[in-house]
Structure formats: C-alpha cells, structure tokens
Amino acid sequence: MYRYDEFDHDFVQARVAEFSDQVARRLAGEITEDQFRPLRLMNGVYLQLHAYMLRIAVPYGTLNGAQLRMLGHIARKYDKGYGHFTTRQNIQFNWPALSDIPAILADLASVEMHAIQTSGNCIRNVTADHFAGAAADEVADPRPYAEILRQWSSVHPEFSFLPRKFKIAVTGAERDRAAIQTHDIGLHLKKNAQGELGFAVYVGGGQGRTPMVARKIRDFLPEADLLSYCTAILRVYNLYGRRDNKYKARIKILVHETGVEEITRQVEAEWLELKDAELKLPEADIRAIDAYFAPPALADRPEGDASVRLARLDSKSFSEWLDQNVVTHRHPDYAAVTISLKGIGEAPGDASDSQMEAVADIAEKYSFDELRVSHEQNLILPHVARADLKAVYDALVDIGLATANSNLITDIISCPGLDYCALATARSIPIAQEISLRFASLERQRDIGELKLKISGCINACGHHHVGHIGILGVEKKGAELYQVTLGGSADENTSVGEIIGRGFSSEEITDAIEQIVETYLGLRLDRTEKFIDAYRRVGPAPFKEALYAGETKAA
C-alpha cells in the first residue's frame, strides 16, 4: 500500500501543528466560532447533537493493521470505545472533546493518517472498489489512480472553495462495486483495443435531495490524461456551478441544467488547453505510484481446497459464512473476506475498540497486513489463503464479527440518523436494528437472496437510500418520524434511482411494510435465481403498491 514520502509527512505534520494552534486559540477565546467553524470543518471536526464528531479519512478505504489498531486506540482513549465506518470508506468518532483533537491528529499522523478534506466544499476522500487488488474480475488496481487524485486534490488551491463538496470514485472492474455513477466524477478503469489503460469518465451523479445518475462524457481517457481531464471538469464546474443556492450547487445540477452534450463540449474545450501541459502524467510517475500498490507475493497454497472442504463438513456455520462472505480472488488459492459490521440487531458500521484491534491482528497474521473499509460499511480482508479461512473465521467468531450476511437484507447501510446527527430528521439506526432482528434467520435471508437495503435519516441521503433495492428515508412530519420507501434503486453498473412507492410509514409500521414488500417479491419471483432488483425491474411497482396500500384504497 501507499507509504508517505517526506513531502507527505511534512504536509500532514504541518497541518497537525497548524490546527493544534487554531484549536488552542479557539479554546483561549482568541477566535470566534464563526472564524473557527470553517477551519475545524477543513479538518473533519463537526458539531453533532451530543458532542463534536471527528471524521478521519481512509484513502480509497485502504488500511493496514497498525492504522486500524490506532483507530481502536483512539476509540478507547479519546472516545467511548467505538467508531462508525461510513459510506465514504472513512471512520467517524462521535464523542471526542475539542481539546483532545490535536492529540488525536498527532496519533493519526504517526500512522500516516489524517482528517483533511473529510468535510467542506472541496474534493473529498476518493473511494474505490473495496476488492481492489484482489478481485478476479479486475482489469487493473484502481487505487494508484485514486492515490494520484488524492495527491493532486489535497489542498488544491483552485479547488478548495468549490460551489459544493465534490466526490470521486474509481473502479477497475466491469462489475461496479464502488457506485461510480452516484459520484460527481466516476472513473471506470479499463483497457482499450490496444491493451492500453484508461478510463470511461462519468460526471454529475449524486444523491441528496436531487438524486441523479452520472452521465458518461468520455468512453476512453488515456491514463496519462487523468489529472488534466479532471481539472477540466472541475474548472467548468467551478466557473459555472451555482453558488446562489446550496441545494443546486452540486455538479449534477449543472450537468442537468446545461445538458450532457454542452457540458461535454465545455470540458473537452477546456481539456484541449490543458492536456499537453504540466498535468500530463509521466509514465514513470504512474508506475512509481503503481509500485506502492504492488500485490503481496502470494505463495501457492493448494492445500486450501482440501482444508476448506473438511472444515465445511465439520461446521455448518463456517460453511454458511464461506458461501456468503467469501469471494473469489484473482489467485485461486486465496479469497477476499468480508467482515460484516452488521451483526443482527446491531448498529450498522459500528466497531468497538477491541474489535478493531483484533481485526488488525487478524489482518497482520492472515491478510498480508491489508484491510479495506467498504462503502457498504463493512471491513474486508483482501488476501486470505483459502487454507487459512477456517482460522480467520474462528478468530472472527471470538470477537462477534462472523455474521454471514454479506449482500443479504440485514447487510444494511444506515447513516447515524437522529441518534447522533444534527442534520437528521428521523432515526435510522433503530430502524435498521429492528429490520435486522425481524429478518434474523439466515435461512430466510438466504432464501430472499441479494437485497440491498439502505436507510437515511434525512434528505441528504448519507445512507444511500435512493440507490437501495429497498430504500428508506426518514423525515419529520407533524413532529413524528415518518419513513418513506423507495424501490428499484441500484448502485452498480446498472445504476438506477429508486421510486417512491406511496405514503410513508410510522416507526411502528415500517418493519411490517418492509416484510410485506419482501413477501410480495417472494410470491412473484420467477424462481430463486431472480433477484429482488431484477424482479422489480420486470414487474414494476404495481404489485408492491397493491400489497402495501390496497386495503386503504378499498376502505376509502
């Protein structure tokens, strides 16, 4: 993985010193809250309902053991013993004192981490496929390009005060696990007919109050042109993006209002001015960054097949976990493991200090010291020898992290909602917990099959409800929580925005409504191989509306 060079170390240390001074001046009353707020936000410090919140960047979701162990240490020493992994592959702590944040940032810097650009109207943490470097279906590892984008976008003087925040995602596989079409810029790394690497470029995706699927503006951008082309997009956005209305300030609105053809023309025109100048990436520089992401030397471990077969016979729960949470690796003797942070009835994405430390140990011992945070709020061990899977499983059982529910209905994305967030209008975690408990039976979950359920506690859509196969949006209506359901959303290579199915449900009704939707699907699917999303696309909303609301219409 990437290691800081001298420049990175100096940059992060300088920022720790600068922000420590700003915190000291704030605590001494030398600067006002109005002066301090933009400074703290630039360093990931929010004020939530109960306390400050610190959001720490995990660049493209990649961590090593020492880094995760440090996060566990921070949770224990400065917070309340846990952290919350987010849909931007980051981690948030919910209770840090402002006076402790300089010490936390110093601890983070010691393991090459920081909280820079995790908030504010700048380019946020670049996300990537959580199976990057391990996936069998990958053309190339997308993370070197994410790292190049990180270096380019960190305190970029031209792009630090954009009309609004800006999010970039990169995938290296046809099967999109990074939700690139819901991003301001989505990059799909691929090869052209000549075998050269480049990107399909998507622009103007996003969620929030106005969900939009990104539009492809270029089918193949040579890798050397990555920065010049992104600069061209950002320049067009910076120049024409709306600054008069916060709710219309994202690039998706500009793309929508300008039209994709005109935006493409503007970007291409700007790019012509830039493409052969200093932003062109030298081949040697790309390969130098590539080298940081060189895959670990994976020795052949052919004994894995036999040991997995035996362990399967021995343990039904191991067998189920294997089927659900373990995916094919590009090396046949290895696998990538999803560590579910969605224990039945638990808060999605939360991990305790001791769990973080234990997972760090497991990664060091069994996954070449590599870990990923997925945007679906789970952790990933990217390179586990199949021969070690049973040992990894047993270690995860010991710390309560062996829930076999990856991609099932209880693998719920949920924002913190009104239990923590100052912007939220309704709670989301307790709804996730109740649905999880309702569908606790693994047998039932597996019968239902792949189902992405996503919950947001306000219209800002941090819980990605628009692109859930089933999406739940919590709002406040007449002083009570009301939950609106959308169906048919998806965040993969066939991205779609879900449709609102009808009137919302109270917190007492919502779990029953979800169950009714699931039962309706089970009743109409062609067979077990037809997934929820495919069935919905085939039949549309009518049968679900009928199941949910028919009684009301008749009564009325």
Partner 1 sequence: MKVLTANRLTDGIAVWYANGGWAETIDSADLAHDKAAEDRLEAIGAAAYANNEVVDVNLIDVTVADGIVEAVRLREKIRAAGPTNRNDLGKQARPEAVRAA
Query: Under the rule (CB under 8 A), what is the footprint of partner 1?
Result: 26-27, 29, 32-33, 47-52, 80, 95-99, 347, 418-420, 422, 424, 427, 429-430, 433, 476, 479-481
CB of 211 to partner 1, least distance (A): 25
According to DSSP, the β-strands at 480-487 and 505-506 are antiparallel
Indicate the DSSP class of residue 333. Answer: T
**Nearest CB to partner 1, comparing residues 14 and 437:** 437
Helix (H, G, I), strand (E, B) or coil at 116: coil
Compare residues 433 and 490 and give the one whose CB is closer to partner 1.
433
Helix (H) or strand (E) holding 283: helix 283-292
Cβ nearer to partner 1, comparing 345 with 543: 345
Nearer to partner 1, 9 or 50 (CB): 50
Q: How far apart are CA 121 and CA 163, in angstroms?
A: 7
Residue 337 beta carbon to partner 1: minimum distance, rounded to whole angstroms? 27
CB of 426 to partner 1, least distance (A): 8
Instruction: With CA atoms as reference, report the closest residue to 232 among 206, 265, 204, 256.
Output: 265
- Residue 511 beta carbon to partner 1: minimum distance, rounded to whole angstroms: 15
- Cβ closer to partner 1: 389 or 458? 458
* Least spacing, CB of residue 82 vs partner 1, in Å: 9
Strands (E), 427-542: 453-456, 470-477, 480-487, 499-500, 505-506
User: Which of 382/417 has CB closer to partner 1?
Assistant: 417
Contact 246, 210 (CB under 8 A): no
- Report, in Å, the least distance between residue 514 CB and partner 1: 18
CA–CA dist 556, 543 (Å, integer): 19
| Whole-angstrom distance, CA of residue 410 vs CA of residue 418 | 20
In angstroms, the CA 410 to CA 393 distance is 19
- Parallel/antiparallel/unpaired status of strands 185-191 and 470-477: unpaired
Which of 155, 160, 145 lies closest to 234, judged by CA? 160
Distance CA 96, CA 98 (A): 6
C-beta of 78: minimal distance to partner 1 in Å? 11
| Distance in Å, CB of 428 to partner 1, minimum | 10
Q: C-beta of 478: minimal distance to partner 1 in Å? A: 12
Choose between 50 and 528: whose C-beta lies nearer to partner 1: 50
* Residue 60 or 420 having the CB closest to partner 1: 420
Give 49 or 139: the residue with its C-beta nearer to partner 1: 49
Measured between alpha carbons, how far is 209 from 458 in angstroms, rounded to an integer? 9
- The Cα 304–Cα 298 span in angstroms is 13
Q: Which residues contact 297 (CB under 8 A, 6 or more apart)?
A: none
Query: Distances in Å between the alpha carbon of 279 and those of 18, 142, 404?
Result: 29, 19, 46
